[in-house]
Amino acid sequence: MKIFLNISLAAALFVGGVYLYADDDEMEHARPAYSKPLSKQDQASAALYKKECGACHMAYQAGFLPKRSWDKTMKGLDNHFGTDATMDAADTKTIQNYLMTYASKNDRITDMKGAVALRISQTPHFVKEHREITQKMITQPEVKSIANCTACHTKAETGSYREREIHIPNYGRWE
């Protein structure tokens, strides 16, 4: 963990990435960079990603999952959580490349069973962070699914998940 933290911080300084912490006293949980700054060439790809993959839900930041997760997701779009999310071959390739470039460098991220994670919401880190969320908070009509990040994280679209920005419908602010 210590080594990982040091590498993360070094990486943050190196790429100038944005690192988020739950609290200042939770420094031991170094956050991955959910969204690295975009290079100029990648802005068009990011816009395409938002358009295509943000049509049914938020365009989740690539940095939540490692490369192999995105690879598996992009190869299974014809049966994507019970829907057909396929698009033309050129767009698929552009988005695949985009997700690979901005994926988490932490290849140890898996799902709860140790398999390739397709859901951010079923990774151990996510489950741990959300352990205090009750079923009632999730099943209410304003939220419906734990995958509906923007229902609670008011700035999720911008890649920001700070505690002070959390507002759970009908429960209020988290702080």
110: left (phi over 0), alpha (psi -120 to 50) or beta: beta
E-only strand ranges, 19-110: none
* Interface mask toward ligand HEC for 77-116; x: CB under 6 A: x--xx-x-x---------x---------------------
53 is an interface residue for ligand HEC by CB under 6 A: yes
The phi and psi torsions of 102 (rounded to 5 degrees) equal -105, 10
- According to the binding rule CB under 6 A, does residue 38 interact with ligand HEC? no
Angle at 163 between CA 162 and CA 167, to 5 degrees: 110
Which stretch, 10-18, 35-43, 106-114, 139-147, contacts ligand HEC (CB under 6 A)?
A: 139-147
Determine, following the binding rule CB under 6 A, whether residue 47 of this chain makes contact with ligand HEC. no
C-alpha 87, offset from chain centre: 21
Asked if residues 75 and 93 have their Cβ atoms less than 8 Å apart, the reply is no
User: How many residues lie near ligand HEC (CB under 6 A)?
Assistant: 40
Strand-pairing partners, residue 153, are 166
Which residues here bind ligand HEC, judged by CB under 6 A? 20, 22, 52-53, 55-57, 60, 64, 73, 77, 80-81, 83, 85, 95, 119-121, 129-130, 132-133, 137-138, 143, 145-149, 151-153, 161-163, 166, 168, 174
